[in-house]
Amino acid sequence: MTDRYANFAELAAELERGTDYRIRSEDRGSPVVVIAPHGGTIEPVTAQIAEEIAGNDFSFYTFEALKAGAHGDFHITSHRFDEPVALDLVGRAEITVAIHGRKDDGTDTVWLGGRAALLRDRIGASLREAGFEAELNTILPGTHETNICNRTRSRTGAQLELPRSLRRRLAEDRSDLRNFCSAIQDGIRMTI
């Protein structure tokens, strides 16, 4: 599906903050920021997962659609995602981990992408060790230089694509959510 808006300025010119969408962020002065640029009704549960991963240690950001609509109604593709709060927070970080949602494909496999190969691989290993499926993302690799996850000081980041079935499961099972997010935190900590 095609995005309705090419960038944040176009979206902000037509939609109202606080009514149509909201932005939540927490700058903890951490070299790590965990983001969900397609939260709320765009890619459900991604914001909650990103916030849980960030916990009290890592900085956090999410853009959340507050109204129902087609996926493309609020979605700005990651290599054009230029919301100013996100750009500022990510631009001051060394590491960004972006949580995204994708369609189901019959598995609960997390697709791992981004330009930070070591970070991506350590998160993948940590997820697999915790009992979750994770593999290299060849469909949505997240390697474009202007992808929001790669706009850090190091020009690299990690992008995780979670199928709807896994996001639903994590939303319903608090223990599973904690294990999943702890595994990602472990992968991050092995890298910083």
At which residue do the structure tokens 């990602």 appear? Answer: 184
Amino acid at 51: E
For residue 112, the cross-strand partners are: 136, 160
pLDDT in tens, 46-100: 999 999 999 999 999 999 999 998 878 999 999 999 999 999 999 999 999 999 9
Domains and CATH numbers, the chain: 8-189 (3.40.630.100)
> Which segments of the chain are extended strands (E)?
21-26, 32-40, 59-65, 95-102, 110-113, 134-136, 158-163
Contact between 72 and 1 (Cβ < 8 Å): yes
Give me the pLDDT at residue 34, please. 98
At which residue do the structure tokens 């994590």 appear? Answer: 170
Distances (CA, A) of 88 to 9, 41, 45, 176: 15, 24, 24, 32
pLDDT in tens, 135-152: 999 999 999 999 999 999
Instruction: For residue 158, give the nearest of 101, 100, 116 by alpha carbon.
Output: 116
pTM above threshold 0.75: yes
156 SS3 class: coil
Residue 176 pLDDT > 70: yes
Give me the pLDDT at residue 1, please. 60
By DSSP bridging, strand 59-65 and strand 21-26 are antiparallel
Give me the pLDDT at residue 133, please. 98
